[in-house]
Amino acid sequence: MKPLTPQETTRAAAVLPPASGWTSIVKDVSSDQRVFKDVPWGKPMMWIFLLSDTFIFGSFLISYMTVRASTTVPWPNPSEVFGLTLFGRSVPLLLIAIMTFVLISSSGTMALAVNYGYRKDRLTTCAFLVLTAGLGATFVCMQAFEWTKLILEGVRPWGNPWGAAQFGSAFFMITGFHGTHVTIGVIFLIIVATKVWRGDLDRQRPGFLTGRKGNYEIVEIMGLYWHFVDLVWVFIFAFFYLW
């Protein structure tokens, strides 16, 4: 990242309209060429993708609410279903709590990776990305464990031993879709970590798919995706496991 010279900074400040106040929105939207100023184009693109994903997860959670509120059969108690027995006593929701902390930790390491990326600290960035991918993979493994446990206990998308049949379909659909996102995120992280490791972003080596020059912005864009996965989990945790 080349630091701006003082003239460039003043010129940039003169070119960009003020960033705050509702009038700035009107000015940005009605301006020439670019609506989303002061960000690399990849960032609004990722944000718009995440917005569409928000609608998908939102629809899942709302349809889950609808089936849960409309069934006349009692809903299985998640606190017991997802409890673990530890040293002879059962702890409610233990596995889910651990998964939550693992995912939040991975979000923290991702934020640090973005920060070190903009400092051009290649090795630290790569280390944090690998750590994030590791925590993500741990999360997916724990989810696989949870699925296995429930399937062995007889939970199916069409029924379960404890109550409302819709429990299984809502559970597998919502956590399955979220787990898929985490898995894709881990693959994405490994790809970005490899690029950082090889120094592609320092040498502006063109990407193999897009041919665009490497840049540390991709670490931040990757970070947006990863934080979104964590964000969705916050809602799943509240509505599916704590309800």
Partner 1 sequence: MEHVEHAEHPHTAPDGDKTGPSAHGQQHPLGIYFKIWGLLFVLSTGSYLVDYFHFHGLLRWTLIVVFMLLKAGLIVAVFMHMVWERLALVYAIIVPPLLLMVLLGIGALEADYTHLTRGTFFAPPAAQPAPAAH
Q: Is there binding between residue 118 and partner 1 (CB under 8 A)?
A: yes
Q: In this chain, which stretch among 109-117, 136-144, 153-161, 188-196 interacts with partner 1, using CB under 8 A? A: 109-117
Decide: is 80 part of the binding site for partner 1 (CB under 8 A).
no
Distance CA 189, CA 101 (A): 19
Map the footprint of partner 1 across residues 162-221, applying CB under 8 A: 206, 211-213, 215-217, 220
Among 69, 86, 152, 209, binds partner 1 (CB under 8 A): 69
CB of 32 to partner 1, least distance (A): 12
The contact mask relative to partner 1 for 219-238 (x = CB under 8 A, - = no) is: -x--xx--xx-xx--xx-xx
The DSSP secondary structure of 161-230, one letter per residue, reads SSS-THHHHHHHHHHHHHHHHHHHHHHHHHHHHHHHHHTHHHHTPBPTTT-PBP-THHHHHHHHHHHHHH
Separation between Cα atoms, residue 231 and residue 61, nearest integer Å:
14
Indicate which single residue of 63, 124, 138, 183 sits in contact with partner 1 (rule: CB under 8 A). 63
Position among 10, 45, 73, 199 found at the interface with partner 1 (CB under 8 A):
73
Map residue 236 onto helix, strand or coil.
helix
Q: Is 124 in the site for partner 1 (CB under 8 A)?
A: no
Q: Which stretch binds partner 1 (CB under 8 A): 4-12, 134-142, 143-151, 186-194?
A: 4-12
The closest of 132, 129, 107, 131 to 219, measured between CA atoms, is 129
Min dist. Cβ of residue 188 to partner 1 (A) = 16
- C-alpha 25/C-alpha 28 separation (Å) is 5
Spatial separation of the C-alpha atoms in residues 47 and 98, rounded to whole Å:
28
